[in-house]
Chains A and B, each alone.
Chain A
Amino acid sequence: MNPFQLNEKNVIVTGAASGIGRETAKLLYSLGANCILLDINEKGLEETNRLIDKSGICCALDLTDFDRFQEVFSLCKEKLGYFHGMVHCAGIPSFSPLRGLTVEAYEKVQKINTQAGLLLAKVFSRKGMYDSSKRCSIVFISSVYGLVGSASNVAYAVTKAANIGMTKALAMELAPKGIRVNCVAPGFVKTPLGEGVIKFLDDAYAERVGAMHPLGWGEPTDIACAIAFLLSDAAKWITGTVLSVDGGFTAQ
């Protein structure tokens, strides 16, 4: 059997309405997985589901509404059965120097990028939720900015570095349950989020960002491939790792 296949695996994908989340859902579907698509953007979810032949279960969910996670997972499990994988692709940027950082801005980026991932993992790993008879896998999304410094980006960097700590701690804690936990650290990728950041700034910045990646800008599918690998049995002896997928950004 091809270890990269994901046949019969039920995988939750957050941020599935666009960008890396959408591309991940498309790839997982093509590899045989059943996808549970979560996002606050209902229209985007429907479009993603259309792209995977309406095979997914869509659930419009505000990822800061932590109290709904258990209910949503239970409903999805009733329809599909036990879960085998989860990837937390949802994320938002936060561009500001320290002096412009507000409590409101920090809490928002922290809740979506990190806290939601942690609390989703908590529900996923409860007895009766994941398939304890099979290998299971959780993938978080970090960033090159969780690994190297960047000015005017501290709130985002905190959350992405936290996702690395969360990955390693949960890898240790969930290994006895047969759940692997890893994260992918992307460089700049051509997604609505990445392009929105560039539009927010200026063309000169876009050029500088491009130059920081020896292989140029990434595509969402570059990240989706790494996620699919980490979810698959091809990565069955990999846990607690940070996989940089950044066109060489952090090789310098």
Chain B
Amino acid sequence: MEKQEKIKLMEEVMDLEEGTLSESDTLSSYEEWDSLSVLAFMSVLTSKFQKNVLPKDIKNLVTVSDALNLME
């Protein structure tokens, strides 16, 4: 999956408008990065990338780039 496609997926996960996120953004600077976003991201990781990650591991992510690195 292309990087731009992954960013679009993160925007969907965080319920943000398309074109909002940049790789260098800090996740915690968005109020939308909440427990529902964490749950949504975990679901995407499992179903699209066959990765089972725990909520505490997701909460340790700092930047959007960190999240994209998990999407492989």
Interface residues of chain A, those whose CB is within 8 Å of chain B, are 94-97, 99-102, 104-105, 108, 152, 200-202
Do A108 and B47 have beta carbons less than 8 Å apart? yes
Partner of B36, one of A94, A97, A105, A108: A97
19 contacts between A and B (CB under 8 A): A94-B43, A95-B39, A95-B43, A96-B40, A96-B43, A99-B15, A99-B40, A100-B12, A100-B13, A100-B39, A100-B42, A101-B43, A102-B43, A102-B44, A102-B48, A104-B47, A105-B46, A200-B54, A200-B55
Interface residues in B15-60 (C-beta closer than 8 Å to A): 15, 36-37, 39-44, 46-48, 54-55
Which residue from chain B places its CB closest to the CB of A104 in the assembled complex?
A: B47
Known A95-B39, A95-B43; 13 more pairs at CB < 8 Å: A94-B43, A96-B44, A97-B39, A99-B15, A100-B12, A100-B37, A100-B39, A100-B40, A100-B44, A101-B43, A102-B44, A104-B47, A152-B36
Which residue from chain B places its CB closest to the CB of A109 in the assembled complex?
A: B47
Which residue from chain A places its CB closest to the CB of B41 in the assembled complex?
A: A100
Inter-chain contacts of A95 with B (CB < 8 A)? 39, 43
